[in-house]
Amino acid sequence: MLIPILVTVGFIITFGVRIIQQYETGVVFQLGRYSRTLQPGLNFIIPLVETARVVDMRVLTNEIPKQQAITKDNVPVSINGVVYFQVVNSQSAVIEVQNYLYAVSQYAQAALRDVVGGMTFDDLLAERQKIGDEIEAIIQKQAANWGLKVTAIKLLDVDVPEDLKKMMSRQASAEREKRANITKAEGDKLAAVNLAEAAKTMAQSPGAMQLRTLQTIDGLGPTASNTVVLAVPIDIMDSVRALTVKLTEKKQG
């Protein structure tokens, strides 16, 4: 008599006790109908009459496999990403959808292709956060019916064909060369303005040219290998030439 009682008690403990972790809830079905939700801790169900399905309530991550899509300006791209979501209503997550992990993954793939198809390639590269927000809004509308909350969508990689990568590289190089030429031209213009101002100042100050010449000679240093060529101003040359002519005329006279 004692043995059947012990077997019955052991059966009830084995199949009737449910320990729910802090990050979980349990959805109980009694003869196939929803009965109640188990909270974290020690719980009991009626064996053979009730069944419990445990649901993880933490934030879950689900990879969005690489998707082939065509942008608004007909550029083929391959994109993958990650969707972060959380079960907020375990009853709906179990009853309203067969497999919420698979459902979210498939819905995210479709939303990703739709959003990318409505954007240009340049916007796709520059507005990743905006794309993620748009996909999140699309998924959340449906996920709410499944008892889920989408917390974030992150795009990981955007791959383009190799020939397009080469074209983008050439375009980037041309853009950098353009900026370098503009910078050089602006520098040349500024240098020319400064030289003109310096020449104007020297023309107004008779001793400025001589002072500049002395500064240049002083900056050469004492190295013996330096060869210094000094240009004599034209007005001095004219004075020397005129003096030579006068001396020659006196001798002839």
pLDDT of 92 strictly over 80: yes
Tell me the CATH number at 122: 3.30.479.30
Indicate the average pLDDT of the chain.
Answer: 79
pLDDT of 149 strictly over 60: yes
Percent of the chain with pLDDT over 90: 28
9, 30, 71, 127 from 48: Cα distances, Å: 14, 9, 55, 54
Point out the domain boundary residue: 34, 55, 76. Answer: 55
Same domain, 73 and 144: yes
**pTM (predicted TM-score):** 0.61
Same domain, 123 and 68: yes
Same domain, 27 and 65: no
Point out the domain boundary residue: 37, 55, 73. Answer: 55
For residue 28, the enclosing domain spans: 2-55
pLDDT tens per residue across span 187-235 = 777 877 777 776 666 666 655 655 666 566 656 656 656 666 655 555 5
Q: Which residues contact 114 (CB under 8 A, 6 or more apart)?
A: 138
Strands 41-44 and 17-20 come out as antiparallel
Point out the domain boundary residue: 137, 160, 183. Answer: 160
Cα 71 off chain centre by: 19
Q: Is residue 20 part of a domain?
A: yes
Same domain, 100 and 185: no
Q: Is residue 135 part of a domain?
A: yes
pLDDT of 102 strictly over 70: yes
Beta bridge partners of 30: 33, 50
Handedness of CA 190, 195, 201, 203 (dihedral sign): negative
E strands, 115-178, are 148-159
